[in-house]
Amino acid sequence: MLKHEIPYQTNSAELFAKIADWPWAVFLDSGQPMSQFGRYDIMVANPFVRLVTNGEQTVIVDGMGERSSKNDPFELLKETLSPYRIAKTELPFEGGAIGYFAYDLARRVEHLPSVSLDAENMPQMVVGIYDWALVVDHQLRRTYLVSHGMNGETEVDWPSLCAIFDGPLMQATKADFKISSALQSNMDYTQYGAAFNRVKQYIHEGDCYQVNLAQRFSAHASGDAWTAYLALRDISPAPFMSYMNLGDAQSSLQVLSASPERFLQVHGKHVETRPIKGTRPRSDNAVEDASNANDLQNSPKDRAENLMIVDLLRNDISKVCETGSVCADKLFALESFANVHHLVSTVTGKLAEDKTAIDLLRACFPGGSITGAPKFRAMEIIEELEPNRRGLYCGAIGYVGFDGNMDTNIAIRTAVYSDDEIRFYAGGGVVADSELAKEYRETLDKASSMLKLIARFGGDVNLKASRS
């Protein structure tokens, strides 16, 4: 193993700026120094294997060339990682797979109808296998560059890589970023209301208990997405943030995520998921802010919604955990972020001896906190009522290490920048006693950080509806 200590920087973005333009550069960002929750930041670039899933085909590119397969993408990832095994590591990640799993990858898990329009034009899975990583520990104030030499011939030799991170810091901002159109939604209030009422009808007919209904926002944009991400982490720091510079010679694709929600974590055999359900807006007025938080904590409706999702996730993780090991360790904890208060619960389990983190990911995908209950029927209703497929939104971003450990977020509060357009979604769970005006308002509360981002770079956020 190669290990080199780098001078610690409170703001890890200054370190990542050195490689932000590198191929498939990824920053798994705890939001420090602004976020009160995170501990570790992870930075990688130049993977030695790449997996990209589009529809039924997964293309795998490595040192031996390019091949494609129609096999299950989760199984392909497990097979690709299987030759590279290391023992338990000191740091959370010392090489392995990092990437995203879009919500629409669920079509490879479940047989969903095809009703809504795919306007995202992006792969359903993009994962790189990385031979080195820069890991920042904000608790111990230490930074390490590590590699286990899995590739044999790393694209950047070790002395050069050490010199890059030991060298002078980059400036915190780079090129311009600009929004050049008014923000559009794929549903105006009337259209959202029609979908909302149909969900309520399904609930009263007994089809489901809860459906997460979301709207899609988009605007024309140009310039450097890294600049936009720096603004986002200033506006809305969160513990499961990420920036991903993906794409290829033909196209550019950047992901800017300010997610507050952990999807699945595996450490050894310990499994944890932390679903969010229940939201109130923050206020600059301290009395009003405390009142909003208290209202959320004591809301029977929000607690009931949260409990539905806890039960769903207990069921999902029990598919690959030891019998009797799954339990809800904590219910309805209040967590406060830059723009909203949330109710967060914690469910844990012990991974079965013959199962892996990727088996767990597949068994639980996509996360139940952003589908509804029962899960499959909720997904069918989402496909019917939302005008556009979700793309990355409500999928997952994170890592699966060579040591078998995993940590992933739920890709909410997440924007995709490609084809001269920036796009993001916001939604909320609709249940039997939901009220239209409040649920619509909640989607805007959840989108508030992204709305601030759009406005900061010149966009008009007076929403206009578009079905395109």
Out of 277, 305, 375, 386, pick the active-site residue. Answer: 277
120 is catalytic: no
Amino acid at 457: F
Name the token pair of 62: 């490595």
Cα–Cα distance for residue pair 198/318, rounded to 1 Å: 32
DSSP codes of every residue in 39-86: -EEEEE---SEEEEEETTEEEEEETTEEEEE-S-HHHHHHHHHTT---
Beta strands in 158-208 (DSSP E): 177-179, 182-185
The answer to whether 377 and 390 are in contact (CB under 8 A) is no
How do beta strands 182-185 and 460-465 pair?
A: parallel
Cα–Cα distance for residue pair 224/21, rounded to 1 Å: 10
Tell me the C-alpha to C-alpha distance, in Å, between residue 299 and each of 57, 225, 281, 282, 306. 46, 39, 14, 16, 11
Out of 94, 120, 261, 305, pick the active-site residue. Answer: 261
The number of angstroms, rounded, from the C-alpha of 196 to the middle of its chain's C-alpha atoms is: 25
At 228 the three-state DSSP class reads helix
Beta strands in 232-339 (DSSP E): 240-247, 252-259, 262-267, 270-273, 276-281, 327-336
| Contacts (Cβ under 8 Å, ≥6 apart) of 425 | 214, 215, 216, 217, 390, 393, 394, 412, 414
The answer to whether 421 and 391 are in contact (CB under 8 A) is no
174 is catalytic: no
Cα–Cα distance for residue pair 393/257, rounded to 1 Å: 10
- Indicate which residues carry an active-site annotation: 261, 277
